[in-house]
Amino acid sequence: MNFLHTMVRVKDLDASLKFYCDLLGLVEIKRKESEKGRFTLVFLAAPGQLEQAQDTFSPTIELTYNWDTEEYTGGRNFGHLAFAVDDIYALCDKIQQAGVTINRPPRCGHMAFIKSPDGISIELLQKDKPLEPQEPWLSMPNTGSW
Ligand SMILES: C[C@@H](O)C(=O)SC[C@H](NC(=O)CC[C@H](N)C(=O)O)C(=O)NCC(=O)O
Ligand code: NI
């Protein structure tokens, strides 16, 4: 079995593409519009996984935009989407300049959390740092309401 994608329903497709593509650097690799179903699907891949994703559409994020407005009550059971980034400080600066809140800044140099326009938590991890949170980080209060 292989992991393929995570689907996220978005309220505003343009705002989401600005966030995931222009700000985070993901690349649109496929789009499907359904007149009958009244929705648009957009598959996004990370630049470092583009070749693989173009072959198998995985790993990707599948943005689902329903043309008719719906309320999406955020399920507490969904945690976050995590990305390994080249330079977490440079990316956080860019994110802050774009007016996006950094809910948990990269204090210990390797992990930050932000939220998408739909309030989806996004974890940013410095590429060459260990995945497991360092002890000091675990005891740090987070700045956002999680
Ligand atoms: C292309 C493949 O990866 C899909 O996930 S299509 C799944 C399909 N999606 C839709 O119908 C999109 C519009 C729908 N109104 C919705 O918001 O999901 C589907 O079966 N969706 C149901 C689901 O729970 O994912
Ligand atoms: Ni899907």
Residue 61: CATH number of its domain: 3.10.180.10
Full domain range(s) for residue 61 = 5-66
Question: How confident is residue 144, by pLDDT bands cut at 50, 70 and 90?
Answer: very low
DSSP code string of 7-76: EEE-S-HHHHHIIIIIIT--EEEEEEEETTTTEEEEEEE-GGGHHHHHHH--SEEEEEEESS----PPPT
Ligand 1 site, residue 50, Cβ cutoff 6 A:
no
The per-residue pLDDT for range 6-20, each reduced to its tens digit, is 999 999 999 999 999
The pLDDT value given to residue 130? 65
Q: Are residues 17 and 58 in the same domain?
A: yes
Hey, which residues are catalytic here? 123
CA of 77 to the centre of ligand 1 (A): 19
Q: Which of 64, 65, 72 most suits a substitution to test ligand 1, by most atoms within 8 Å of the C-beta?
A: 64
Exposed, middle or buried, 85 (CB in 10 Å: 0-12/13-18/19+)? Answer: buried
Q: Are residues 86 and 105 in the same domain?
A: yes
Ligand 1 site, residue 63, Cβ cutoff 6 A:
no
Q: Residue 131 falls within a domain, yes or no?
A: no
Q: Residue 140 falls within a domain, yes or no?
A: no
The pLDDT value given to residue 134? 56
CA of 48 to the centre of ligand 1 (A): 26
The per-residue pLDDT for range 68-92, each reduced to its tens digit, is 988 888 677 889 999 999 999 999 9
